[in-house]
Structure 1
Amino acid sequence: MGNDKGTQFRCSGGEVINLYDSGKVVVQGKRQSEIKGLFGIEHSAAPKIPKATPHNPRKVFVVYGHDTDARDQLEAMLRRWGLDPLILDQLTSGGQTIIEKLESVQKEANFAVVLATPDDQGHRSEHPEELAYRARQNVVLELGMMLSVLGRERVAILLKGQEAMEKPSDIQGLLYIPFKENVDEAKLLLAKEIDAKGIPIDLKRV
């Protein structure tokens, strides 16, 4: 990534997403137009990722793909714990592109939970035998953005169907919490992780 430090994600299709500490996002590969299009990123300009300035220490940003059941389960669970989940499609856009909306919402979060669910399938070019389930590309990009804003210590990844799922990143030190069918299976480990980061949760009531 040159002299500019940051985080790099490699998709199973060969695409590379570089998230620099300076705030620049660069997508490379055959499907870069498709990935950029998901977030309204123009070829001529790269979005700036704001630094975290949490307004509410109990706000938790939720990253999700197509599994709305898992998203709803997670939202209900976080609310039971007295937390304020930030669900992107429940927030007003105000004429913003998706990437601009993400940037403004991220500034309010003090923790992020990423739902990595088997929404897509993919493999390396010319290696169809490696076909595996994977998270949506928007989930991978939003994960990278939250790592840049909050740091890996404040990001937890809930991995559904761990044995059949390709991890969205091989970055060392990321917290993966597996579950099979219901997000509730991951509640104790997730609650302990959030509580340990200074966001109090009554673990006796989890």
Structure 2
Amino acid sequence: MGGGTLNIKIISQISGDKGVNVAGDTEGVTRMAELTGNRNNGNFRSKPTQTQEYERDANIFIVHGHDTLARIELKDYLQNTLGFPAPVILAELPDCGRTIIEKFEEQADQADIVFVLLTPDDFNHENQARARQNVIFELGYFIGKMGRKSGRVILLSKGNLDIPSDLSGILRIDIGQGIRTAGEDIRKAVKKALEAI
């Protein structure tokens, strides 16, 4: 099958939110990027559902525990609705001989905005739900690095959690009903964070 035939076939398959994989066909990848305005290793989706309203892209880092669904929904919302590049998620990156803290520090240095998913993954000694301790550690790291008042560290919480008292005054976005339900609050928080960069 020639390159032109493949391109026509691929182009004719685009509709709605269906993804099309054109990996291995450089002409097809280039043409699809032109048509959709979206290029991600040959995996294409329709353009983000919301017009990009931000003046610049940002390196976004997601701190998470064991709630895989919340992590995936947030990543999808940031990429496919708000139109940002893929956020950094440590679990998705190769270790390359580094320790976890080395990998974390390397990626943290490049972060412009941080989302912290506070989800009920562990229990304290009183059997009350709490976020994973590594999540609290990374949250503290980013607050120290970026400043508590910068607006660049955005807390998303699910459920009734035991939160360290030092964090009790910091506003959190409730994602108990899902990321998309909290979407408008997330969008506003991102806009404010971008102004602080």
Which TM-score bucket, shorter chain as reference?
A: 0.5 to 0.7
Report the Cα offset of residue 144 of structure 1.
Answer: 0.9
Q: Map 1:186-205 to 2 at 5 A.
A: 186-198=182-194
Residue type at the aligned position of 1:142: E
1:149 aligned to 137, 145, 149, which one? 145
In 2: Cα distance, 1:171 partner to 1:95 partner: 34
Q: 1:188 to 1:177 in 2, by over 3 A?
A: same
Q: Match of 2:111, SS? A: coil
**2:134 alignment partner in structure 1:** 138
Residue type at the aligned position of 1:86: V
In 2: Cα distance, 1:93 partner to 1:169 partner: 33
**2:46 alignment partner in structure 1:** none
Greater gyration radius: 2
Q: Percent identity?
A: 40
In 2: Cα distance, 1:147 partner to 1:180 partner: 23
Report the Cα offset of residue 172 of structure 1.
Answer: 5.9
What is the RMSD computed on CA atoms of the aligned residues?
2.1
Report the Cα offset of residue 168 of structure 1.
Answer: 4.6
Q: 1:90 to 1:98 in 2, by over 3 A?
A: same
Report the Cα offset of residue 89 of structure 1.
Answer: 1.2
Note the alpha carbon deviations across 1:157-189, whole angstroms, 9 max, x for none.
10101xx21125533652311121412222111
| Contact 1:106/1:149 (8 A) holds in 2 | no
| Contact 1:116/1:168 (8 A) holds in 2 | no
Note the alpha carbon deviations across 1:11-65, whole angstroms, 9 max, x for none.
xxxxxxxxxxxxxxxxxxxxxxxxxxxxxxxxxxxxxxxxxxxxx9511110000
| Contact 2:121/2:132 (8 A) holds in 1 | yes
**1:180 alignment partner in structure 2:** 176
Q: Map 1:103-182 to 2 at 5 A.
A: 103-123=105-125, 128=126, 131-152=127-148, 153=150, 154-161=152-159, 164-168=160-164, 170-171=166-167, 173-182=169-178
**2:84 alignment partner in structure 1:** 83
Question: How many pairs does the alignment contain?
Answer: 137
TM-score, normalised to structure 1, is 0.61
Report the Cα offset of residue 193 of structure 1.
Answer: 1.2
Q: Match of 1:114, SS? A: strand
- Higher percent of residues as strand: 1
Structure 1 stretches of 5 or more lacking a match? 1-55, 200-206
- Higher percent of residues as helix: 2
